[in-house]
């Protein structure tokens, strides 16, 4: 894709699903399924073009249907780069031959779901609908410019998890989780994490 095409795409309605799959046949089939269910979809054959498009269009409110095994970057690498860029797009991994450890890492880092190929249409649509609910929750939470990791920690706190449990879930040290909690309190101005959750959920969004 080039700049002119990016410009044309940016004038279209924002996609609900971003598909990144290097197999052209499967990519075509998935696009047909998604559009049949009414999802506005944009597809990419490799991550570099996706990132160039993402940078060009700015904010985007779509879930990412992401193949775990891509020729130039792994799905986990794409997930890590999105986090570094501060993009909180919900990710649904899909793969036909990934190790369970890869799926666990992706889910611990905040992925919404992991679909093992071949998967049925209902599983796909269910995962996408859940990811959109998660995105909407994150939009409600993220009114204080929290980083993706801080946002994830706050979400787990809202679900009743303690620092030790969050650390184990995310594969981080308890000290790191406490640092994230401290940053959340500083950014929200809250005195406790419970107060931070309430503020994040109910503070009006002035944007």
In a domain, 207, yes or no: no
Could you tell me if 39 and 132 lie in one domain? yes
Residue-wise pLDDT tens digits, 165-195: 888 877 889 999 999 999 999 988 889 998 8
97 & 181 share domain: no
How many domains is the chain partitioned into structurally? 2
Domain assignment of residue 112, yes or no:
yes
Judgement on whether residues 102 and 171 belong to the same structural domain of the protein: no
Q: How many CB atoms lie within 10 A of CB 1?
A: 13
Residues constituting the chain: 207
Residue 114 placed within a domain: yes
Question: Does residue 140 carry a pLDDT above 70?
Answer: no
Q: What is the pLDDT of residues 12-48, one digit of tens each?
A: 556 889 999 999 999 999 999 999 999 999 999 999 9
Report the predicted TM-score, pTM, of the whole model to 2 decimal places.
0.67
Q: Looking at residue 4, what is its pLDDT? A: 52
Q: What is the pLDDT of residue 101?
A: 82
pLDDT one-digit tens code per residue, 69-89: 898 899 999 999 998 887 878
Say whether both 29 and 50 belong to one domain: yes
Give the β-pairing of 41-44 and 17-20: parallel
**Could you tell me if 99 and 187 lie in one domain?**
no
Does residue 56 form part of some domain? yes
Range of the domain at 153: 148-202
* Separation of alpha carbons 103 and 125, rounded Å: 19
For the segment 151-178, the average pLDDT, to the nearest whole number, is 86
Q: Domain check: are 132 and 154 in the same one?
A: no
């Amino acid at each position: 894709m080039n700049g002119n095409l990016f410009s044309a795409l940016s004038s279209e309605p924002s996609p609900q699903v971003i598909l990144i799959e290097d197999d052209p046949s499967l990519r075509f089939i998935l696009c047909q399924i998604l559009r049949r269910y009414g999802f506005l979809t944009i597809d990419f054959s490799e991550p570099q073009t996706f990132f160039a498009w993402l940078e060009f269009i700015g904010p985007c409110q779509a879930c990412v249907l992401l193949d775990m095994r891509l020729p130039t970057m792994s799905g986990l690498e794409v997930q890590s780069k999105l986090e570094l860029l501060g993009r909180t797009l919900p990710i649904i991994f899909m793969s036909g031959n990934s190790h369970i450890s890869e799926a666990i890492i992706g889910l611990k880092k905040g992925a919404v779901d992991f679909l093992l190929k071949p998967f049925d249409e209902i599983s796909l649509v269910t995962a996408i609908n859940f990811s959109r609910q998660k995105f909407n929750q994150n939009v409600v939470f993220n009114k204080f410019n929290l980083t993706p990791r801080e946002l994830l920690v706050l979400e787990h706190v809202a679900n009743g998890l303690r620092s030790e449990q969050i650390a184990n879930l995310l594969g981080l040290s308890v000290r790191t989780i406490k640092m994230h909690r401290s940053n959340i309190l500083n950014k929200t101005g809250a005195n406790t994490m419970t107060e931070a959750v309430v503020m994040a959920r109910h503070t009006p969004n002035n944007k």
